[in-house]
Structure 1
Amino acid sequence: MKRAVSAFALFCALNTPAAIAAPAYWRTLTPAQQEALAPMSQQWDGLPETQQRSLLNVAKHYPELSAKEKQRFLSRLGAWSRLSPKQREAARNKYRAFSKVPEEKRKQVRQMVKEEQARKAE
């Protein structure tokens, strides 16, 4: 459940429109915030304020995560930070479409993805 909440919070933070100029600079963040948001460090100063706020809200929970959860969080945030704007929009659209699929079908798809990832890891 905690992972699902973390993943959802991360998606929400990253799914904000890019319309407002960002006033908060990377150098003004606390060391703890910088640790949690490290994958976004190169882009931070150019992010819209709304997205910065969302990410800072997610970063509040970072210290509570286990080492494994922190690694997963940073990995996902890093992957997101490397996407082009077009790829991010495609990911948002997929997420919106997936959200409309009935819960039972979503569970089946998640299970299939887990099994595929396990096969690739072997």
Structure 2
Amino acid sequence: MSFRPAVIAAVVIAAVFATAAPVFAAESGPTWAQLSAAQRRALAPLQQDWPNLDATGKERWLSVAARFPKLSQAERQRVQERMAAWTQMTPSDRAQARLQFQQARQFSPEDRQARWEAYKALPDDQRKQLAERAKPPKRAASRVRDDEDDDDGKPKRNIVATPRPQAPKAVAPAVIQAAPGATTTLITSQPSSPAHHQSGMPKIIATDGFVNPVTLLPRRGPQGAAVRSQAASEPR
């Protein structure tokens, strides 16, 4: 019948959402002894892990047990086999199964039914290959060792190597070598005048004959021509 795969899919969905919780002093949800005989027969593979399940996980498994009488004998055996496999899964495997369930919910019921029929039509060897491919990869010890090595196969070292001392460089005859912080000047370069010496103007001679010691203005020479006396500059 067409509803059989849907019932089995519901069983898988319920198994995906069943998560283990830490053991507390007071068990959450109904205990194994509080279940009915029919519920204990349906959920027999979960007897050992039942005290570790939280209340939400127990409710989902009880909903699976409620649909258990409607299944055929072969479907009941298949569901209990998946229960036993779920108890052997690691937390990472359960997280991967939960992720696959979230991805499967994106398809419509008709699409899921068609995919289920296509899966049942596959040979056993291809089913095993798909099951192995769906398992999360296990990190081997060699992978950890590879991460500790460089790309060239040499182990990593956190010690910084001491830099090699640089060989002294030969100084050319035309270069004056100065101490650190100073610059070097080529002997062949032409000396340049300071910035305050304008081109075409002679250098000011600061002697008493040329500079007035009171006003500090030039008395004669080319510089004195541009200086006006105070009397000439004041308005009359």
Amino acid at match of 2:65: A
> Which secondary structure state, in structure 1, belongs to the residue aligned with residue 41 of structure 2?
helix
Which stretches of structure 1, 4 residues or more, deviate above 3 A after TM superposition?
Answer: 16-21, 101-110, 118-121
> Which secondary structure state, in structure 2, belongs to the residue aligned with residue 24 of structure 1?
coil
Larger Rg: 2
Aligned sequence identity (%)? 28
Aligned-pair CA distance for 1:69: 1.1
What is the Cα-based RMSD across aligned positions, in Å?
3.0
Aligned-pair CA distance for 1:76: 1.4
Q: 2:122 aligns with which of 91, 109, 115?
A: 115
Q: 2:79 aligns with which of 52, 73, 80?
A: 73
What residue number does 2:67 align with?
Answer: 61
Cα-to-partner distance string for 1:31-68 (whole Å, 9 max, x where unaligned): 11011001111111110101101111110121222111
Please, which moves more after superposition, 26-35 or 6-15?
A: 6-15
Aligned-pair CA distance for 1:118: 6.6
What residue number does 1:42 align with?
Answer: 48
Q: 1:83 aligns with which of 80, 89, 93?
A: 89
Larger RCO of the pair (alpha carbons < 8 Å, separation 6+): 1
Q: Does 1:92 align with 2:98?
A: yes
Q: 1:105 to 1:81 in 2, by over 3 A?
A: closer
C-alpha distance in structure 1 between counterparts of 2:13 and 2:115, whole Å: 23
Structure 1 residue runs without a partner (length 5+): none
Please, which moves more after superposition, 55-64 or 11-20?
A: 11-20
Structure 1 or 2: larger helix share? 1
TM-score (norm 1): 0.77
TM-score (norm 2): 0.43
Matched residues, number? 121
CA contact (8 A) 2:5 2:113 kept: no
Q: 1:22 to 1:71 in 2, by over 3 A?
A: same
